[in-house]
Structure 1
Amino acid sequence: MSILFISHDLLAVSKLCKKILVLKKGKIIESGDTNSIFNSPKNPYTKLLVESLTFHYNTQKNFGKTIMEVENLGVSYIVKKNFWGKALEKFEALKPLSFQLKEGENLGIIGESGSGKTSLGNAICRLIESNGTIKLLGQDFFSLKGESLRDFRKNIQMIFQDPFSSLNPKMTIYQILKEGLLAHKIPNYQTKITQALLDVSLDESFLERYPNELSGGQRQRISIARSLVLKPKILLLDEPTSALDKNTQKQILELLLRLAKQYHLSYICISHDLSVIASLCQSVIVLKKGEILERGDTQEVFANPKNAYVKKLLEASGI
């Protein structure tokens, strides 16, 4: 049986395929056996793609004060109810866990599908019910309600996995960037919108465009700008580069690192891609079946994993 494998995951391509065709703007720009393409690329674009596989650990550790304290955070889902709606059976997606996040620190959350990563992210942002406590900027985040909660939410924003579905296709980029500012009644929004665009290396010509007129990388930049206009302290990144090709991934990661330094942001990054975590995050937590298996400095955990499961993850990732 023959397989035609279409992907922007170069690591998967290198392991599965014997021959490669490299496409750009609808044209084949290079072809050949896998070893030749990866070891001796001839086309400049192919060279960029191959070079994007290399990464450098984020060793910047000039952290500030603690801005988030998570204590015994747990998430359970009801899987069976009786006739009157009382829960008979629950699934514990996230067992009580605790961690802290400092200003300027980027924390990676990794683990296989079903490990509890998404439940953790949703619980942190109060998108689902959970147990435990979260102190954010000294405030008890879970005790806030109504207008107080609405106003406080601007301090923690999300960047979603798919830039193609996270932007409203019926709204212009200007409307998308203005929406959050209007919701929080923030004045002088025109200046803030322009600055947010400049921060993500886009100009004002994008304001009257619609999402379908942009590339995947440009859409993700708009998603980042949409969060930046609210001046958050923490960005929760849910697989922020998984829908992008390797070269664009590298550009987005460089952008996120620059913004973190410029605005003293902290990131919580959920990802299957361990090279993304290594490039972006100084600290890492490894989850399996809702429990923390290992945590610590990213470079140390990746270089000297203590848990057998973590070793398997690293071997599979090619790091």
Structure 2
Amino acid sequence: MMTIFIIQKQRMEETCFLLILLLSGGLSTLPPHSREYHFVNQRMNWTEAQSYCREHFTDLVTIYNSNINQLLLSMAQNINEWAWIGLYNDRYSWKWSMEGKLFYVGSTHEFLIWANSQPDCVNANEYCVALQGQTQMNDRPCGDSYPFLCYNAKNTSYILVKENQTWSAAQSYCRTYHTDLTSIRSKEEKSNITLTLNGSGVQYVWIGLYRDPWASWSDNTTSTFTDWKSLEPDNYISLEYCGAFDLKSRKWADGYCTTRHFFFCFTAVTKQTVVKMKLQSEADMHSTEIQQQVSQQVSSSVTNTNLTQVQTMLHVFHHLHILSSCQASCCQKD
């Protein structure tokens, strides 16, 4: 959103004006060096810690690299307990191989039905989905070998391949000889797949559903850095879906989200940039239409210089005029 204040000052035939833009970056998208970190020595479960961080700071911490990892550890020296971080393993966030877009597959989905007690991500090692008994879904280790179901978009057909393959090998085969591993995106598709599998005798058959392990952070940013302790994550008894520091070992571990631990928060430090622009033109800025054109051109300039996700406050000093034949000079100062 842009606000324009107009202060008139005529200078012979030519009018000059000065634009000062104050650009503030979005909070959750700021890079790691624009964050401050906090160790909270109060015991809360993961959800309570998340709410506390969002109320008093910005969010639970996201760890982007070893430098941040070590910084957090230095804030909690001589403490041999656990501390929550913003990492969690979302067992209901899945993708189709054919589309690659995240979507939610909960226990009450209309036509994607999980088998009893699924998904359970046994031993933190089940990130691919097979149909069990032709109709119900079961998360399985992606390295297991099963028959698989391909989809061919050219003739809208489903092809059962009874050769046992890992999920990745099955995906490669389907993409080579057909379109992809099959997706189930409607009741009609599920009905057609059930007909294809009817009488096949297969116990498990791979479909195109999968997810990325431990890919979710509380503030919705992305980090591929990890520092798990040996044999972690293990999802002990299929109930450990939240990430934490084991401060004694100084490594990460997965834990029960309902356990009460200390935790780390971060505060986003807003970076402010001042951009000054001096413009010259003979056009009349009393016109509302011309004022709107100036606003649009400045907005476009901000976007084109990759100053995205900003809130812009525009102060215009002297008499504003359209850029129809103007020349601009600008300087930038952090």
Q: What TM-score, normalized to structure 2?
A: 0.20
Q: What TM-score, normalized to structure 1?
A: 0.20
Which has the larger Rg? 2
Query: Whose helix fraction is larger, Structure 1's or Structure 2's?
Result: 1
Query: Whose strand fraction is larger, Structure 1's or Structure 2's?
Result: 2
